[in-house]
Amino acid sequence: EAEVAQSPRYKITEKSQAVAFWCDPISGHATLYWYRQILGQGPELLVQFQDESVVDDSQLPKDRFSAERLKGVDSTLKIQPAELGDSAMYLCASSLTRGSYEQYFGPGTRLTVT
């Protein structure tokens, strides 16, 4: 069964360092999402891609966060510099199209900033 892949699964970094997360969506899925989930809360959308284009990044803290999906397949989310408040689970999801309601989630990357 096809799955959304994410790496690394866990990351510990010091404050002010740079960190990057990678996501490989289900093959053929045009829409890719990055969510952030703070412990004890529900996920919140950071950025949404349709193919290689950003369609919604209104909640992305653009002073330190960046996301790209250069070839419209896999995606990278970067934080530079990391802050203590960035400690969270970062979830990637994909769907067939923007009109498709079914989003499939990856296992997530647990980030701890010390």
Partner 1 sequence: KQEVTQIPAALSVPEGENLVLNCSFTDSAIYNLQWFRQDPGKGLTSLLLIQSSQREQTSGRLNASLDKSSGRSTLYIAASQPGDSATYLCAVRIQTGANNLFFGTGTRLTVIP
Residues that bind partner 1 (CB under 8 A): 4, 6, 31, 33, 40-45, 48, 55-56, 89, 91, 93, 95, 98-108, 110
Residue nearer to partner 1 on the CB measure, 9 or 62 = 9
State the minimum distance, in angstroms, from the CB of residue 107 to partner 1: 5
- Shortest gap between Cβ of 41 and partner 1 (angstroms)? 5
* Cα first-last separation, the chain: 37
Task: Please identify, using beta-carbon distances, which residue of 81 and 105 lies nearer to partner 1.
Answer: 105
Between residues 63 and 102, which has the closer beta carbon with respect to partner 1?
A: 102
Smallest separation, CB 29 to partner 1 (Å): 12
Q: How near is the Cβ of 74 to partner 1 at its closest, in Å?
A: 17
State the Cα–Cα distance between residues 72 and 64, nearest whole angstrom. 23
